[in-house]
């Protein structure tokens, strides 16, 4: 077995052994397709060589005599391993491991391109140049290269097409502005000047470099032309010298379908200049032939004046003889052309260029066509223009009728309404209201429907609008008048962002006529705004008893009132408004009056506080007689006085409660509940229903909601805090227990 192995080894060609080669005796191969070496990868390779040396030998062959170089002729030609060679040279090595083999040019190119090219990190353009060398110098075919590299033939053709790039496009490719896919789109344009223009359009657009899809669509739309729409005969090879026929042309997409997988049609010309040259040549030939027969030929701008939108559109003063007459009756199921209808008539024609298609079409004046038809005994059919003019005449007649009718109706109505006292009857009101409704914008209709149509159930907008419109038929005259006013003024109830400077003139005029004060409304809104701000501030503060000061601090100017407008007396019962608690009133007793006018009060909760004189005059007033009586009865035990109960947020729960059922309560505002009305009807008074007159009530939980002993204290911090928010000077509260 060993003998067989040795025999086989002896029969095999001897293997070249690696040896140390002097670097200065080696020169890169001129046929190596690699031209660029990334700096970062090269720097990394140099570090590796300095650390570990060159671990894999390079491949060289003796330098061929046919190669010429500047200076001293090298000893070896580098076949494979140029990156290692460059790194070792820069690292300062004197020797590099290498294998020397005797190779001919064919073997050299095969090793460089076929064996190594598809495995190296070359850019696509260098790869294409390598394939081009293999095919041109050494006779490789695309099929052979595809088989060697194990890729498709279309891949080889796509790479080879990159060699058709002009220098401007190659520069953009090397700079990274184009990738291989977009570069291929440009390479398929056969004209260098057009490639330059397309490269600029794709890489220098306003939004940056276009995507592949954008680039493909742009090039197909601007640099590819449909041969099926060519105005010239595609099989005529005499139109342009050297251009030949269109079908076998290599610039037709169908000639190299593997290069145009994104183009659906095979009959696409990729050479716009050749296409334009054939089109111009064909136009010149047609013009010469027409002028030879004595016909007038119009081209360019002169043709656009007569046929601005192409032969497919109807012209005002001319007709295309080969165009169907849509106004004529059908013959054998089709509309006849003007040429067919004029078969027995003579009419002067001329040739006009259709600038949209580049074809010459024969036209004649419309008036001459009609005369020729009449002379030949043919009745010209009515044209669409004739029918339009007839319809317009009828519209003008109808409009005049309506205008006259309106004038007479309004004259008669004015006489009638003057006689009966300038009032609409119900039918007239409904008519006017419906008309106003139909002319109102949809947004305003929605606003009115929301006002007029109330429903506990959720109704869609269109349903609500329909409901209101149907109600017009059953409204009373007063409701109709109100809706008319709404329709007139609803547009001024909203200020739009685009009309901030507009004024509700009509709304203000109506308000003035009806004695509605806009200023009062604005003041009410301002008060509401201030109340909301006070409530918001009160919620933000901690719900604790207010801090009481021993020395009152009065407002600077307002506390220096020498002669107060209201005289207060010690022991007088007063009430003060609590704006944060729905404008309810709280009672207190004047304890003392300071020299500067500040007043010390004993509140109904048994607390002391001091208010500024100016605030007292603004918010305090004498208490009602009933309050005097009730307070007098409970003056000895202020700590057990039952007051208005509040929740933890300060909102009043009840001011009046049922004498027998604590669950029935009333805040004292708004409409009286039925049980309150029944109490009053039976001779009772509201004072008897005050919460402080009721005995203690214990809920189901067993805990009393009110104070029931002298040691219990009911604190209403919201009340005192509100006085502080309204400008009162709150002094430090002193807690008193019942004697």
Q: Which residues are catalytic?
A: 82
CA angle 400, 403, 408 (to 5 degrees): 125
Given the structure tokens 């191969």, which residue do they identify? 29
Asked if residue 21 lies in contact with residue 60, where contact means CB atoms within 8 angstroms, the answer is: yes
Asked if residue 646 lies in contact with residue 581, where contact means CB atoms within 8 angstroms, the answer is: yes
User: What phi-psi label fits residue 564: left (phi over 0), alpha (psi between -120 and 50 degrees) or beta?
Assistant: beta
Q: Given the DSSP bridges, would you call strands 608-611 and 76-80 parallel, antiparallel or unpaired?
A: unpaired
Q: Is 459 exposed, middle or buried (0-12, 13-18, 19+ CB in 10 A)?
A: middle
Under DSSP, the state recorded for 229 is: G
d(CA 584, CA 47): 90
Per-residue CA distances from 326 to 105, 329, 376 (Å): 75, 8, 20
- Cα end-to-end span (Å), the chain: 129
Q: Reduced to 3 states, what is the DSSP secondary structure of residue 318? A: strand
Other beta carbons within 10 angstroms of residue 120's beta carbon come to: 15
Asked if residue 153 lies in contact with residue 139, where contact means CB atoms within 8 angstroms, the answer is: no
Given the structure tokens 């050749």, which residue do they identify? 274
Tokens in use for 115? Answer: 């064996």
Q: 347-372 burial string, b = 16+ CB within 10 Å, else e?
A: bebbbbbbbeebbbbbbbbbebbeeb
Q: Which long-range contacts (C-beta less than 8 Å, at least 24 apart) are formed by 251-255?
A: 251/190, 252/227, 253/224
Q: Which long-range contacts (C-beta less than 8 Å, at least 24 apart) are formed by 393-398?
A: none
Question: Could you tell me which of 43, 78, 27 has the C-alpha nearest to residue 57?
Answer: 78
Question: Could you tell me which of 608, 587, 610, 607 has the C-alpha nearest to residue 597?
Answer: 610
Asked if residue 136 lies in contact with residue 111, where contact means CB atoms within 8 angstroms, the answer is: no
Stretch (H or E) spanning 602: strand 599-603
What DSSP assignment string belongs to 85-147?
HHHHHHTT-SEEEEEE----HHHHHIIIIIITGGGS---HHHHHHHHHHHHHHH---HHHHHH
Tokens in use for 718? Answer: 């919201």
- List strands edge to edge, sheet with 620-622: 608-611, 599-603, 584-593, 573-578, 620-622
Alpha-helical regions (H) of 420-515: 426-438, 442-452, 461-471, 477-489, 505-513
Given the structure tokens 């580098």, which residue do they identify? 78
Would you report the helix, strand and coil content of the chain in percent, each value rounded to 5?
A: 45, 10, 40
Other beta carbons within 10 angstroms of residue 730's beta carbon come to: 22
To the nearest 10 degrees (0 to 180), the angle between helices 167-174 and 192-203 is 30
d(CA 354, CA 302): 11
Phi and psi (nearest 5°) for 186?
-75, -40
């Amino acid at each position: 077995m060993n003998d067989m192995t040795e025999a086989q080894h002896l029969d095999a060609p001897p293997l070249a052994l690696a040896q140390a080669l002097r670097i200065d005796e080696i020169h890169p191969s001129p046929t190596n397709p690699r031209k660029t070496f990334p700096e970062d990868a090269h720097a990394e390779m140099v570090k590796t060589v300095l650390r570990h040396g060159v671990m894999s030998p390079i491949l060289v062959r003796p330098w061929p005599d046919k190669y010429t170089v500047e200076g001293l002729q090298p000893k070896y030609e580098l076949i494979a391993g140029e990156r290692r060679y460059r790194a070792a040279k820069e690292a300062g090595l004197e020797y590099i491991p290498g294998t020397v083999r005797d190779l001919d040019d064919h073997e050299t190119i095969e090793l460089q391109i076929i064996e190594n090219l598809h495995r190296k990190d070359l850019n696509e353009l260098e790869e294409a140049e390598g394939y081009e060398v293999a095919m041109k110098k050494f006779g490789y075919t695309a099929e052979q290269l595809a088989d060697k590299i194990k890729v498709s033939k279309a891949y080889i053709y796509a790479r080879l097409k990159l060699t058709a790039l002009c220098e401007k496009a190659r520069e953009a490719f090397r700079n990274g502005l184009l990738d291989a896919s977009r570069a291929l789109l440009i390479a398929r344009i056969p004209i260098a000047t057009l490639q330059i223009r397309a490269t600029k359009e794709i890489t220098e657009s306003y939004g940056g470099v276009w995507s592949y899809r954008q680039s493909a669509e742009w090039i197909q739309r601007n640099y590819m032309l449909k041969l099926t729409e060519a105005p010239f005969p595609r099989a005529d090879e005499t139109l342009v010298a050297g251009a030949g026929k269109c079908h076998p042309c290599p610039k037709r997409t169908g000639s190299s379908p593997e290069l145009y997988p994104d183009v659906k049609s095979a009959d696409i010309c990729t050479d716009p200049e050749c296409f334009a040259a054939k089109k111009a040549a064909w136009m010149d030939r047609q013009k010469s032939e027409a002028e030879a027969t004595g016909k007038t030929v119009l081209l360019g701008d002169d043709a656009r004046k007569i046929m601005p939108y192409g032969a497919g559109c109807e012209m005002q003063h001319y007709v295309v003889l080969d165009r169907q007459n849509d106004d004529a009756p059908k013959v054998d199921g089709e509309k006849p052309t003007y040429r067919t209808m004029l078969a027995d008539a003579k009419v002067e024609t001329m040739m006009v260029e259709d600038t949209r298609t580049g074809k010459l079409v024969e036209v004649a004046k419309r008036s001459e066509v009609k005369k020729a038809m009449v002379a030949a005994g043919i009745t010209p059919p009515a044209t669409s223009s004739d029918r339009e003019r007839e319809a317009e005449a009828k519209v003008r007649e109808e409009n005049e009728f309506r205008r006259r009718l309106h004038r007479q109706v309004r004259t008669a109505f004015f006489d009638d309404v003057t006689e009966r006292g300038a009032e609409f009857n119900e039918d007239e009101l409904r008519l006017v209201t419906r008309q106003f409704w139909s002319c109102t914008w949809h947004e305003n209709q929605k606003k009115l429907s929301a006002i007029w149509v109330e429903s506990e159930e959720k109704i869609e907008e269109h349903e609500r609008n329909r409901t209101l419109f149907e109600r017009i038929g059953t409204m009373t005259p007063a409701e109709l008048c109100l809706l008319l006013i709404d329709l007139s003024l609803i547009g001024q109830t909203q200020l739009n962002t685009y009309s901030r400077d507009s004024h509700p003139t009509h709304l203000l005029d109506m308000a003035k006529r009806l004695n509605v004060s806009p200023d009062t409304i604005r003041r009410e809104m301002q008060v509401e705004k201030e109340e909301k701000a006070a409530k918001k501030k009160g919620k933000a503060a901690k719900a604790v008893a207010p801090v009481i000061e021993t020395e009152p601090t009065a407002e600077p100017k307002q506390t220096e009132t020498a002669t107060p407008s209201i005289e207060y007396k010690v022991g007088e019962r007063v009430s003060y408004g609590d704006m944060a608690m729905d404008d309810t009133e709280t009672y207190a007793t004047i304890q003392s009056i300071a020299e500067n006018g500040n007043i010390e009060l004993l509140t109904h909760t048994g607390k002391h506080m001091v208010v500024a004189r100016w605030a007292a005059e603004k918010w305090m007033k004498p208490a009602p007689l009933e309050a005097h009586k009730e307070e007098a009865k409970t003056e000895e035990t202020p700590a057990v006085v039952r007051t208005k109960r509040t929740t933890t947020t300060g909102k009043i729960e009840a001011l009046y409660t049922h004498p027998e059922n604590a669950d029935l309560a009333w805040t004292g505002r708004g409409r009286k509940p039925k049980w309150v009305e029944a109490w009053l009807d039976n001779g009772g008074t509201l004072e008897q229903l005050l919460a402080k007159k009721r005995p203690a009530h214990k809920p189901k939980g067993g805990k009393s909601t009110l104070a029931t002993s002298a040691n219990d204290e009911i604190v209403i911090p919201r009340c005192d805090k509100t006085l502080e928010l309204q400008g009162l000077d709150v002094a430090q509260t002193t807690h008193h227990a019942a004697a």
